[in-house]
Amino acid sequence: MMNATIELNGLEVQLGNRTILHGLTGVLKSRAIGLLGPNGAGKSTLINTLLGFHSASKGSARVLGLDSHTNGNALRSLVGYMPENEAFISKMSGVRFVRYMAEISGLPPDQAMERAHEAFVYVGLGEARYRPVGTYSLGMKQLAKLAQAIAHGPKLLILDEPTNGMDPPARKRLIELIREIREASDVSLLLSSHLLHDVEETCDEVLILRNGQIASICNLVEERRANRKFLELETIGAEATFTSTLESLGCECAVFSNGRIKVVMPDSMEIREVFKVAADRGVQIRRMNHRRDSLEDIFLNAMEQTGAADGRI
Amino acid sequence: MAVYKRRYNPYSGTLTPQWSRFFVLTRYAFAELFKSRFFVILLILSLVPILFFAGYIFVANNKTVQLLMQMRSAGLFSVENEYFIMVMIAQTQAAFLLNCWVGPVLIAGDLTNGALPLFLSRPFSRADYVLGKLAVLGLLLSAVTWIPGLLLFSLQAGLARNGWIWSHIWMVVPIIFCSAIWILMLSLISLAVSASVKLRIVATGVIFISFFVPAGLGEMYNSIMDTYWGRLLNFTEMFRLILTKGFRERTGLLGPLSRNEIPVPAAWGVLILVCLLSLVILNARLKAREVVRG
């Protein structure tokens, strides 16, 4: 049986007198997990707890089958962490900085040196590797942080807001790198971001946090597989027979006031069949929006919902 | 794998033993230190007194040289406990200056740009981190205190013969232990300062202040309260008291010990307390994340 990547069992974290995470419970099994939530939702606190920086006041968290508190050291030996904020030693050259970090992770000096060069070339900073990290641009610093996170070959890569402050081409390159890393090896990924697009492009499953609680856990692969098509219709003269005919074709329909109907179409169905049914029933379609259920919908839905039964949507 | 092959590869090679990884910090810190010409000069200057002390031992054990120098007084050249107290005082002061230059940058450099979470997100504890940084100062200050102290002791033992070594072997203990407490206290104070102050010049100032201001306050307390216990805040004096007692000296270079003498266990207690206080500061400052109280 496949081990869960992250398993949360009533995880509660208090910082000072404030409870930041309120009894999080959930199992995330995918290899690439996105962590979403508005500012102050508890994303970084959750990451810090998984890394053992904060202790759980109640409950527990397991990462790759290891308890984050009792097996913290073993867990951290499997992790590569790219923090959200600035994290470098400004006077060191890039490659020396990455080598240093790799040696702290346990690589022998010669191996650490080789891997540091590889990581720097891999992230596209090969030309700048001998420059002090302090002289790098913001985007280059982000890439240097990624290089130090992958140099020791971790099993789980934790990326906290990796595209922060990057221009669109650099952001695109970083997202491509993350996808490459995910696809080229068996490394798991936990990516925290407030940019839905980043998560959508790199992750298979998302954990959405709100006010320190799980608002939703959503498997994007299943969502994509379902590939549900949404139609938002504004109609005149739509009777119950119109929706029942659509339902007989495999659609799910929700009728609202003023002739507004939301239709979820099956994969096999084409839009022209909706027009055909409407024409047969004498229904005027005055307006139609056709779109797929995006992560944005899932996110907004999760933000609106309160107290979902088990957090799953 | 050649570096030009751009693809991600997991690492499957051997790993260094966990217990030895703190020394990576020490190694990198020394590499950075020896890039500084000023540091190298300071280190050499710290060892210069040793040459004079060694020369003194040579003259003290060489009658021909004494005759040539026309110094025949038997008591003029004596290598006894007073001599080693002098050596230790000179070298611990050199260690203090060296520590003021090296200590402030050891942790501040990692904290300035938030590198600490990178260390602590690895199989590397805060204790490993402190140990790695402490080892830098420990090795460096040892090189100018007890190691040359023991070398001088060995030189004297080799030149004096006549069983000098067996009658003086007890001196090895104060040479090592007095240096150890001084090194530990200096190192922990400067690491605590380095973890709290980012600018080197300010941190160096704070280290000086942490020695001289309490001493001044102690003297004020003594004057106001008509007591002598305020001297407990003079860490240098407490160290010298331990040193003098350690070398079984009651009078001599430092003058007669007064009746209002602080008990040696109290002096030890103060120095240990300073070490513990520094550890508390380090514990509070060395966090992977800021904890927001509220």
Give the distance between the most distant pair of CA atoms in chain A: 78
B284 in A contact zone (CB under 8 Å): no
| pLDDT at res. B139 | 97
Instruction: Considering only the beta carbons, identify the residue of A16, A53, A118 that sits closest to B3.
Output: A118
The answer to whether the CB atoms of A77 and B120 lie below 8 A apart is no
Q: CB-based contacts of B284: which residues, under 8 Å, 6+ apart?
A: none
Q: Quickly state the pLDDT bin for A51 (edges 50, 70, 90).
A: very high
CATH number of A6-223: 3.40.50.300
The stretch A210-221 carries a mean pLDDT of 88
Q: What is the pLDDT of residue B75?
A: 63
Nearest-by-CA chain B residue for A88: B115
HEC string for A94-161: HHHHHHHHHHHCCCCHHHHHHHHHHHHHHCCCHHHCCCEHHHCCHHHHHHHHHHHHHCCCCCEEEEEC
Q: Which two tokens stand for residue A57?
A: 């006041």
Mapping DSSP to helix (H, G, I), strand (E, B) and coil, where does residue B2 land?
A: coil
User: What are the distances in angstroms from CA A64 to CA A2, A150, A190, B126, B211?
Assistant: 10, 17, 12, 23, 50
**CB-CB neighbors (< 8 A) of B109 in chain A:** 89-91
Residues of A in contact with B114 (CB under 8 A): 83, 85-88
Rg (CA), chain B: 23
* pLDDT for A47 beyond 90: yes
CA distance A75 to A52: 9
> With an 8 Å Cβ cutoff, are A111 and B288 in contact?
no
CB-CB neighbors (< 8 A) of B110 in chain A: 89
In chain B, whose CA is at the least distance from the CA of A149?
B118
Q: What percent of chain A has pLDDT over 90?
A: 50
Judged by CB atoms closer than 8 Å, whether chains meet at A17 and B117 is answered as no
pLDDT at A262: 86
ipTM: 0.87
CA distance A152 to chain B (A): 6
B225 in Cβ contact with B160 (< 8 Å): no
Query: Is the residue at B220 inside a domain?
Result: yes
Nearest to A43 by CA among A219, A195, A221: A195
Residue A31 has pLDDT above 70, yes or no: yes
Residue B260 is predicted with a pLDDT of 64
- Please report the pLDDT score of residue B198 as a whole number: 83
User: What is the C-alpha end-to-end distance of chain B, expressed in Å?
Assistant: 51
Is B15 part of any domain? no
Q: Do B3 and A126 touch (CB under 8 A)?
A: yes
A213-219 and A205-210 strand pairing: antiparallel
Rounded Cα gap, residues B25 and A100, in angstroms: 8
Higher-pLDDT residue of B3, A32:
A32
> At residue A34, does pLDDT exceed 90?
yes
Please list every residue in chain B whose beta carbon sits closer than 8 Å to the beta carbon of residue A101: 118-119, 122
d(CA A271, CA A292) in angstroms, rounded, equals 13
Q: Look at strands A79-82 and A156-160 and give their pairing.
A: parallel
Answer yes or no: same fold for A6-223 and A229-292: no
Please check whether residue A106 is in contact with residue B23, taking contact to mean a CB–CB distance below 8 angstroms: no
- Choose among A10, A4, A9: nearest CA to A22: A10
Residue B3 is classified by DSSP as T
- How many CB pairs (< 8 A) connect A and B? 134
**Domain range list for chain A:** 6-223, 229-292
* B115 and A CB contact within 8 Å: yes
Q: What is the DSSP letter of B290?
A: P
- CA of B16 to nearest chain A CA: how many angstroms apart? 5
Q: Is residue B66 part of a domain?
A: no
Query: Could you tell me the CA-to-CA distances from A105 to A18, A79, B247 in Å, in that order?
Result: 33, 10, 45
- CB neighbours of A221 closer than 8 A, spacing ≥ 6? A30, A204, A205
Give all strands of the β-sheet with A213-219 in edge-to-edge order.
Answer: A79-82, A156-160, A188-192, A32-36, A205-210, A213-219
Interface test with A, best of B4, B9, B11, B28 (most A CBs within 10 A): B11
The phi and psi torsions of B114 (rounded to 5 degrees) equal: 65, 35
Tokens 């659609």 belong to residue: A251
Does the CB of B4 have a partner CB in chain A at under 8 Å?
Answer: yes
Instruction: Output DSSP code: residue B259.
Output: S
Q: What phi and psi values does residue A234 have, to the nearest 5 degrees?
A: -115, 115
Per-10-residue mean pLDDT of chain B, 294 residues long, equals 62 92 96 95 96 93 82 72 93 95 92 91 94 97 96 94 89 95 96 91 91 93 90 92 87 53 91 96 85 45
Q: What is the pLDDT of residue B87?
A: 95
Distance from CA of A234 to the nearest CA of B (A): 50
Contacts of B113 in chain A (CB under 8 A): 86-90, 134
Residue B5 confidence (pLDDT): 56
Fold of A229-292: Alpha-Beta Plaits (3.30.70)
Give the three-state DSSP class for A21: strand
Q: What is the pLDDT of residues A250-270, one digit of tens each?
A: 888 888 888 889 888 887 888
pLDDT of A305 strictly over 70:
no
Task: Give chain B positions within 8 Å (CB) of A123.
Answer: none
Please judge whether B287 and A53 are an interchain contact, meaning their C-beta atoms are less than 8 angstroms apart.
Answer: yes
Q: Indicate the number of domains in chain B.
A: 1
**pLDDT, tens digit, 9 for 90 and up, residues B165-204:** 999 999 999 999 999 999 999 999 999 999 999 888 899 9
Shortest distance between the Cα of B122 and any Cα of chain A, in A, equals 5
Task: Give tens-digit pLDDT for B32-78.
Answer: 999 999 999 999 999 999 999 999 999 988 888 888 877 666 567 78
Can you tell me the mean pLDDT for A84-95? Answer: 92
Where do the H-state alpha helices sit in chain B? 22-33, 37-60, 63-68, 81-112, 116-120, 126-144, 146-160, 164-168, 172-196, 200-225, 235-246, 264-285
Determine the structural domain holding residue B110 and report its residue range: 31-53+81-153+162-285
Distance CA A213, CA A22 (A): 6
* B216 lies in some domain: yes
Angle at which helix B172-196 crosses helix B200-225, to 10 degrees, equals 110
Distance CA A12, CA A227 (A): 35
Would residue B258 count as lying in a domain?
A: yes
